[in-house]
Amino acid sequence: MGLGLCWGSDVPQAHVYECSPHSSYPMENSSVFSLVERWLYRNSVIFDEGRREFNMATTVLSRNIFLPNFLEFEMEVTVKGYMIFPVQHTPKVTHWISNLDMVQAIFHVPLLFFYKPYGSPQPQVLKEALSKTLVPFYPMAGRLGCDENGRFQTICNAEGVLWIEAETSSVIDYLAGFTPCSQLQNLVPALDCSGDATSYPRFMAQVHAVESVLELQLSTLCDGTTVLHFINSWSEMARGLSQISMPPLIDRNLLRARVPPTPRFHHLEYNPPPSLLGPNNPTPSSVSVFKITQNQLNTLKAKSWEHGNKTNYSIYTILAAYIWRCATKARGLSYDQPTRLLMPTNGRPRLHPPLPSSYLGNVIFMASSIALSGNLQPEPFVNNLGRVHGALARMDNEYLRSVIDYLETLPDIKAARGKPETYQCPSLFINNWSRLPLHDADFGWGRPLYAGPANVVSEGKIFLLPSPTDDGSLSLVACLQTPHMKPFEEHLYQGLMSFDNKKAR
């Protein structure tokens, strides 16, 4: 059994609607119909334009699946599409979107969750649980809209989320150790973003039934903390809980700018990225996963005490400083080349008063540090630790409130959104997901075998993922230019050989 998810008219008599000739509500909603039609078209599903209906019950796809070990096989997939709505009436309101929401690019981020189910999977249980979860998380069932000034806002209209079921008899057990890549993203619900973004559901899910694996694919417009809060609440309902353990906090006033806005710092994180000195001949990028064991983390921790250092740096600070140095070496940057490190930082515990983890929305701020390659490479490691630590320590309440105010003063806030070149060589983006409860999403089949991104599409982006077995190890998912990947691996493990001579992959 596999399940796929994606982020980004109350009819209380029923809450699950099948897109078929017998379900009138989806057919009357042109935006929903258009969305499903585009998804089915991209996935080669039979669509009868004359009758404007989906032949869902008998639709069979013949799809080529390319696996990371370069095997290819063809599997037949039968798909069914549904819209799922909150099981009860929910508030019909419009929510203001904060500057932190606005500065994020408007797109769906694909995630994959692979499970090994115990017993017979029951998609109906997941659908009903999702419908119940959408009641407290009612903004997720809404749509993006625009106010009179063209600023995005959330229209809480209960138009529902897209649910797609795909069935196949193929066995894909060996996907449990896959590398996130563009081929595996074919498992994620695809969304044609060429149309009006205000018609897209904020959440899409695909359940994929195979012989022995459940995969869950998710995309969202919220930050990781909110995403996992929603997913884990959904899993609680699927396990039979009468209510979720932590209701979301929905308060759109907590992240408003001050009146008048008073930015007090120079926010270099929104400056243009440093340009690459000399010829810029980018090559294709690739994605690799590197396991860092508990012993190897201990090795790095021991290195942080060298040269008389007395500061007890966090593992994330140590890893970020080390990875930044390894990437700089692997890229062969000249000593006079500026390089910038970007680190998404959860502002909930840093604001005053702090926001709870249940806050529904985006509370990600970007910590940033810039240095010359010639300083990163030959200097003692503790010097780079100080740079990274300083960038993270700067992110206190005053600095974060200044960020919100600074964004308020911009003539066009969209100009502050990150672009692919923001993260590319000579810059680096390290996203720490190691503390997110990725493996708590137990829908009744136990913890996921894998939980994380389906693909990393931007060169220069690195994700840190927790171990599914809680053994203290981490996985590093890196997207770099292909010629830089092997040198990066060598530099990464070279500094970890003192106490652990075995590379764990």
Tokens of 290: 């590197």
- Does residue 17 carry a pLDDT above 70? no
First vs last C-alpha separation in the chain: 27
Top-ranked range on mean pLDDT: pick from 26-40, 231-245, 279-293, 442-456: 231-245
The per-residue pLDDT for range 125-181, each reduced to its tens digit, is: 999 999 999 999 999 999 988 889 888 899 999 999 888 877 665 555 545 455 665
pLDDT at 195: 56
To the nearest 10 degrees (0 to 180), the angle between helices 224-238 and 123-133 is 120
The per-residue pLDDT for range 429-486, each reduced to its tens digit, is: 999 999 999 999 998 888 888 888 877 889 999 999 999 988 999 999 999 999 999 9
The DSSP-derived string for 13-58 is T-SEEESSTT-HHHHH-HHHHHHHHHHHHHTT--EETTTTEE--TT
Confidence at 88, pLDDT banded by 50, 70, 90:
very high
Task: Please give the helix or strand (H or E) that residue 299 lies within, else none.
Answer: helix 294-303
Average of per-residue pLDDT across 274-303:
92
Return all residues near 267 (Cβ < 8 A) that are at least 6 apart: 402, 403, 406
- Does residue 54 carry a pLDDT above 80? no
- Does residue 332 carry a pLDDT above 90? yes
Average of per-residue pLDDT across 277-301:
91
Task: Please give the helix or strand (H or E) that residue 476 lies within, else none.
Answer: strand 474-481
Backbone φ, ψ for residue 298 (5° rounding): -65, -35
Average of per-residue pLDDT across 92-111:
85
Confidence at 303, pLDDT banded by 50, 70, 90:
very high
Residue with tokens 């996992």: 228
Tell me which amino acid residue 177 is: G
- With contact defined as beta carbons under 8 Å apart, do 10 and 158 qualify? yes
pLDDT at 211: 42
The DSSP-derived string for 168-209 is -----GGGGGPPP-TTGGGGSPP--TTS-GGGS-S-EEEEEE
Backbone φ, ψ for residue 338 (5° rounding): -70, 140
Task: Please give the helix or strand (H or E) that residue 388 lies within, else none.
Answer: helix 381-393
- Does residue 501 carry a pLDDT above 90? no
Distance, in Å, from the CA atom of 316 to the CA atom of 321, rounded to the nearest integer, reads 8
**How much of the chain exceeds pLDDT 90, in percent?**
55
The per-residue pLDDT for range 363-378, each reduced to its tens digit, is: 999 999 999 999 999 9
pLDDT at 457: 80
Length of the chain: 505
Confidence at 302, pLDDT banded by 50, 70, 90:
very high
If one compares 500 and 410, the residue with the highest pLDDT of the two is 410
Q: Which domains does the chain have, with CATH numbers?
A: 3-238 (3.30.559.10), 282-494 (3.30.559.10)
